A = this chain, B = another copy of it.
Amino acid sequence: MDNNVKRNLSDETAAKLGYQPFKSALIPDSVVERTTHKVSISTGNDKVSSSVEQVIKATVKDGMTISFHHHFREGDFVFNLVMQIIIDLGIKDLTLAPSSLTNVMNDMVVKAIKAGVVTNITSSGMRGSLGDAVSHGALAKPVIFRSHGNRARAIEQGAIKIDVAFLGVPNADRLGNANGMDGKAVFGSLGYALMDAQYADKVVLLTDNIVPYPNTPASIKQTQVDYVVQVDKVGDPEKIGSGATRFTKDPKELKIAATVNQVITHSPYFKDGFSFQTGSGGAALAVTRYLRESMKQNDIRASFALGGITKPMIDLLEEGLVAKIMDVQDFDKGAAASMHNSKNQQEIDASWYADPYNKGAMVDQLDVVILSALEIDTKFNVNVMTGSDGVIRGAIGGHQDAATAKLTIISAPLVRGRIATVVPDVTTIVTPGESIDVLVTEVGIAINPKRQDLLTALKQVPGLPIFTIEELQQRASKIVGQPKPIEYTDRTVALIEYRDGTLIDTIKQVKD
């Protein structure tokens, strides 16, 4: 079968799993039923343990699905601690269902795969040694990649049934009331982990900071928690922040950011009460800074900013340029710390953020989003998952989810070193071209032909170079030449779900 982005999905595994092919970014109205979960009745007085091993022995059995969150990012100590004990205990055939896998977890997952401890993975993404191992066929069964919103959907619909969730927190009381805002290893919003806390049959908190009962505000509640395990350290505060928090000085990034701002401010969406999501990284922070100036100049205020939150966005909130911050995760300490101070910075769970199968997600209300791309093709399809060598080294994150915005801008350089970003066909389709409105590169922009309205509006902008996407692709091709085609085996190593659970692409094992 071919799906609507022309990917051949005649894959045995996909067929066996009963996948429907991706059809459209539009989610039709219908009625769905939420899944159930088990509750082990307790008065809550015996939850505290100092032995991770004992709690694992009491909860994890062969064949189960276990989960983790990635809010600690590269500062995470919890994942490796728990997985090492599980490996040592010789538990087998687990499905790993974290909200995502960060680099600090890579080697441990590879080890668990080799030991037969982990035989299934669903994640937002993977990189490094793990992406490499999976791309070369380390797992017998394909990994399932899901966006943050789709993971929420899958949990709420029962497609991901978490038996035991191991959730690291910077504070908890003896019954499990916890938040991400107090303690040493603070990360702010618990957005992704709130799904696990709500739907897992067993919830194990790990913390280095047991505080007096009752702990408030309680993002995770005592009614959701089975065990509270005291450990030495849940994370390294220095490594929790994700990369750049400073304004970029790279002229190419600055050029792109300024152009993104031009596109936004000359679009019909730039008006009082508009909403936006920018994301992290130097270029995104630069966009936020340009946007701030434009909002001030034009006396325009945003109704909300969404997504991974950074300090510069908190500054906009405090300046009154943004009325509300809807916060599913925080990318730096400044954003994490500020959630205490303002009722206008609202912690939201991944379902509220982006599950398409509910009564309205935040992304459905989004006007403008700026997203990245490893590759974008002449159909505007975007790849954020595999390198040009076909190896897995990325994550869907909220890409598919936020691309439902009214104005979805891909911000990317034309080429990266000797590798084209704008290509005839992306290696892996993560987000369908129908969701993408504008590509912004350092040489100019391309507008999706289905958005003639935007083309008309942006043509008026003096000095804004507008190309067709084919022109940009050819320009990239001229710079870097024609790459050698990737050689794959027939074996599928990963399935890419669209946010509604349909199959949008598969990743094959690379030959080497």
Q: Which residues of A contact B (CB under 8 A)?
A: 27-45, 47, 175-176, 203, 212-214, 216-218, 221-226, 273, 303-304, 323-324, 326, 340, 343-344, 346, 351-352, 355-362, 364-365
Contacts and interface: CB of A to CB of B under 8 A. Distances in A.
Given A212-B323, A214-B324, A340-B343, A36 B36 contact: yes
Contacts of A36: 33-36
A31 B42 contact: no
A39 B29 contact: no
B346 A217 contact: yes
A362 B223 CA distance: 9
Nearest to A35: B36
Contacts of A224: 359
27 contacts: A27-B43, A29-B41, A31-B38, A31-B39, A31-B40, A33-B38, A34-B37, A34-B38, A35-B36, A39-B357, A39-B358, A41-B358, A41-B359, A42-B359, A43-B360, A175-B359, A214-B303, A214-B324, A214-B326, A216-B324, A216-B346, A222-B352, A222-B359, A222-B360, A223-B352, A226-B359, A340-B343
Nearest to A40: B31
Given A222-B360, A359-B223, A34 B30 contact: no
A303 B213 contact: yes
A255 B352 CA distance: 52
A5 to B, nearest CB: 22
A427 to B, nearest CB: 31
4 pairs of A and B residues whose beta carbons are closest in the complex: A44-B360, A216-B346, A43-B364, A223-B358
A30 B38 CA distance: 10
Contacts of A355: 223
A214 B359 contact: no
A262 to B, nearest CB: 27
Given A34-B36, A340-B343, A352-B222, A41 B357 contact: yes
A303 B212 contact: yes
B44 A39 contact: no
A343 to B, nearest CB: 5
A420 B355 CA distance: 58
A366 to B, nearest CB: 11
Given A29-B42, A223-B361, 9 more contacts: A29-B40, A33-B37, A34-B36, A39-B359, A47-B360, A217-B346, A223-B358, A223-B360, A224-B359
A355 B224 CA distance: 12
A35 to B, nearest CB: 7
B216 A343 contact: yes
A219 B109 CA distance: 38
Q: Among A31, A33, A39, which residue has the most Cβ atoms of chain B within 10 A?
A: A39
B43 A39 contact: no
Contacts of A364: 43-45
A47 B355 CA distance: 18
A218 to B, nearest CB: 6
A358 B222 CA distance: 9
Max count, chain B CB within 10 A of own CB: residue among A28, A323, A340: A323
Contacts of A360: 42-45, 47, 175-176, 222-223, 225
Contacts of A222: 352, 359-360
A175 B304 CA distance: 14
Contacts of A30: 40-41
Contact of A273 (B212, B218, B365): B212
Contacts of A27: 41, 43
Contact of A356 (B29, B41, B175): B41
Contacts of A226: 359
Contact of A214 (B44, B47, B346): B346
A303 B212 CA distance: 8
A33 B27 CA distance: 30
Nearest to A181: B343
Given A222-B352, A223-B360, A360-B223, A365 B213 contact: yes
A133 B40 CA distance: 41
Contacts of A303: 212-214
Contacts of A213: 303-304, 365
A240 to B, nearest CB: 22
A414 B44 CA distance: 37
A72 B34 CA distance: 30
Contact of A343 (B31, B47, B217, B359): B217
A38 B361 CA distance: 16
A400 to B, nearest CB: 15
B38 A32 contact: yes
A18 to B, nearest CB: 20
